[in-house]
Amino acid sequence: MPFAVYLNVAVGGVLTGLVYGLMALGLSVIFGVVRVVNFAHGEMMTIAMFIAVVLFAWFHIDPLIMLVPIAAVLFVFGYALQAALINPFVRRPEHSQFLLLVALAIVISNALLIIFGPDARSVQTAYAYQSFQLGPLIIDAAKGYAGLAAIVFTAALFAFFRATPIGTAIRACADNYTGAQVVGLNVKQLYALTFGLGAACVGAAGTMLTLIVDTTPMVGPSYTLLAFVIVITGGLGSMPGALIGGVLIGLTEALAGLLFTPSAKSMFAFAILVLVLLLRPYGILGRRPS
Amino acid sequence: MIARLTAGVSRRAAVALALLSAALLIAPWVVNDYLLTILILILYFAYTGQAWNIMMGFAGQLSLGHALYIGLGGYVAATLFTRFGVAPWLGLLAAMPVAALCGAIVGYLAFRFGVTGVYFAILTIAFAEFARIGFDHWDFVNATSGLFLPVKQYTHNDLWRLRGDPTMFYYVILAATAAALLLCQLLIRSRTGYFWRAIREDERAARAVGVDAFRYKMIAVMVSAAVTAFAGVFYAFFYNNLFPEQVFSLPRSIEIILGPVIGGIGTLFGPILGAFVLTGLAETLNSALTAFGVDLPGVTQVFYGLCLLIVIAALPDGVWPPLARRLGLSEDKK
């Protein structure tokens, strides 16, 4: 195969990986602050995917326009979820949290199954089959837009955490729970905000993924797993780590699909995860918890 | 050893256990085929829950990938049976070491390199998923088309080759569940069991007083994996088919965990009670919804998920500890 083929597949993998990275970023932000692993992450993303698909089918609204509104809807969902259901579980053992979120995941995916049925749905935009050409590079337009939007959304989130008072307060909660309470921060509310932001990430990522993949009610678990693989590879709790992990996994999957068989591609993602866990147990950019 | 078997069991608990055993022993004469199948399912989950509980409940190591050991057990015994005509009980002698070896690999990699907590849990998922995709592409075990055991009408039950009617399978899994309960009681009262609980409560403190945490965590993973492997063999010979997508999948691992978490982690009877509660709940929901004429796919699961949410929110320690206190059957504090 000519070199250009590899290059094109690699670029496609990186762009998809950016969207994966944004999805995983949500998981990482939630874990980094609330210390709860969101086992319903993929299922939450499926909600966003269905909103985007349905809006497109009924009103022909381009998913890229709906990016921010859908992220906002998921933010409200995540906020309510943390405030009502998860806050009492924050101090409980891991298996207890795990069960809570697994139960939630079961409810979400089956509720979607009841409402939308088991069939796969997709979004056919005008630019679905367009592409840009840069020298030997041919970039799929949908993937290009999705990757770009992922970068913009991530940058906005970074800015929020670095430059706003609320972002700083949330980081304070993550660094020192007791200290944050001592200086009078409303930790429960900040946790709810954080979970909302994590949910907004999956909202945005899910909306963009509809441009790239088909949507069914049962895709949730595989994306939850993918998000785990990415954040652990990049470093659970590290924001840049999630993006780097996403790009790395996206690239690996794309190249493995080309060189071996597409159905075996996630095996390579898991192989990378195992390798990273052994060489750097807390991920590429993660820090050992003290 | 006899003293250890009866240690911490009150007279009241012993009577209750004897009554339950008697009821389960005569069950096949009383219930119809449908209920018998459900009882088999309940005992299957009671067994796997106990096996998982050895690792999580006793030693505090959260595994979310126990489907790996189910799948390995099933595939080893079924392959030996279909390809070489090896009887399942001999196959079990191969399946258990294979599962224990894989458990040892997962445990070694995790414990040696300081992978703990959530990271360990996700590593166990990764290995199960790795196996699922690997078996999907392995032609020797028929890859995605699955492995089938020959089925024909049996004139008599062949216990040695595990070919027969549901009643035979019922007694096999009942015996296995009872054996697992005895094993857990022996383990929890053994030196190893005390070390496990020390590690579960505070690993650093345990190490400080000289417990070889690495060694005892390895023993927990290997024992748990080997015990789980039998459930895989049972699954293969009861259902007569194996697909990587089904036996190694994450939902399979979650099913195993639900029983002990709902029943009560770290207790002896919790996993068994949890299996009864959950499978009973699922089947009741099924029949109730069918009776009301609701026939949408997914409705049962939504109710099931909601029930799980309510139970876990209301009873963080599981159903068994408060129930046991109420009935005066408390196991002494572990």
Distance in Å, alpha carbon of B132 to nearest chain A alpha carbon: 9
Domain ranges of chain A: 3-279
- Give the per-residue pLDDT at A288: 66
Least confident of B4-13, B180-189, B196-205, B275-284: B4-13
Mean pLDDT of A66-77: 94
Least confident of A138-152, A270-284, B300-314: A270-284
Query: Do A96 and B317 touch, CB atoms closer than 8 A?
Result: no
Mean pLDDT of B23-36: 88
Q: CB contact, 8 Å: A84 with chain B?
A: no
Q: What angle do CA B89, B125, B82 make, to 5 degrees?
A: 30
- Give the per-residue pLDDT at B1: 64
Asked if B312 lies within 8 A of A96 by C-beta distance, the reply is yes
Q: CB contact, 8 Å: A181 with chain B?
A: no
Q: CB contact, 8 Å: A75 with chain B?
A: no
- For B29, other C-beta atoms within 10 Å of its C-beta total 7
- Give the per-residue pLDDT at B334: 45
Mean pLDDT of B9-29: 85
Which among A34-48, B3-17, B130-144, B158-172 has the top mean pLDDT? A34-48
Of the candidates B114, B137, B262, which has its C-beta nearest A281's C-beta? B114
* ipTM score assigned to the predicted complex: 0.83
Best mutation target among B129, B257, B262, B294 (most A Cβ atoms within 10 Å) is: B129
Q: Is the pLDDT of residue B105 over 90?
A: yes
CA distances, B89 to each of B36, B41, B80, B151, B226 (Å) = 23, 20, 11, 18, 14
- Give the per-residue pLDDT at A20: 93
Mean pLDDT of A46-55: 94
pLDDT digits (tens, 9 = 90+) for A10-29: 888 999 999 999 999 999 99
Q: CB contact, 8 Å: A111 with chain B?
A: yes
Query: Do B250 and A221 touch, CB atoms closer than 8 A?
Result: yes
CA dihedral over B99, B221, A39, A257, signed as positive or negative = negative
Q: What is the count of residue pairs from A and B with beta carbons less than 8 Å apart? A: 122
Mean pLDDT of chain B: 88
- Give the per-residue pLDDT at B333: 46
Distance in Å, alpha carbon of B1 to nearest chain A alpha carbon: 33
- Give the per-residue pLDDT at A289: 58
Q: CB contact, 8 Å: A263 with chain B?
A: yes
- Which residue is closest to B108 within chain A, CA to CA? A278
Enumerate chain B positions whose Cβ falls within 8 A of a Cβ in A: 56, 62, 64, 109-110, 113-115, 117-119, 121-123, 125-127, 129-130, 133-134, 136-137, 250-251, 254, 257-258, 261-262, 265, 296-299, 301-302, 304-306, 308-309, 312-313, 316
- Give the per-residue pLDDT at B162: 79
Share of chain A above pLDDT 90, in %: 40
Least confident of A181-190, B16-25, B159-168: B159-168
Contacts of B150-158 spanning 24+ positions with Cβ under 8 A:
B150/B82, B151/B240
- Which residue is closest to B250 within chain A, CA to CA? A221
- For B140, other C-beta atoms within 10 Å of its C-beta total 10
Distance in Å, alpha carbon of A286 to nearest chain B alpha carbon: 12
- Give the per-residue pLDDT at B106: 92
- Which residue is closest to B130 within chain A, CA to CA? A267
Query: What is the pLDDT confidence band of residue A1, given thresholds at 50, 70 and 90?
Result: low
Which among A185-194, B151-160, B316-325 has the top mean pLDDT? A185-194
Q: Please report, as a single letter, which amino acid is at residue A199.
A: A
Share of chain B above pLDDT 90, in %: 43
Mean pLDDT of chain A: 88
- Which residue is closest to B61 within chain A, CA to CA? A95
- Give the per-residue pLDDT at B153: 65
- Give the per-residue pLDDT at B8: 72
Best mutation target among A106, A216, A261 (most B Cβ atoms within 10 Å) is: A106
Name the architecture of domain A3-279. Answer: Orthogonal Bundle (1.10)
- Which residue is closest to A278 within chain B, CA to CA? B113
- Give the per-residue pLDDT at B164: 80
pLDDT digits (tens, 9 = 90+) for A234-283: 887 788 888 899 999 999 988 888 888 877 788 888 888 888 877 887 77
Domain ranges of chain B: 2-327
Least confident of A5-9, A263-267, B223-227, B322-326: A263-267
Chain A residues whose beta carbon lies within 8 Å of the beta carbon of residue B118: 31, 37, 94, 236
- Give the per-residue pLDDT at A273: 85
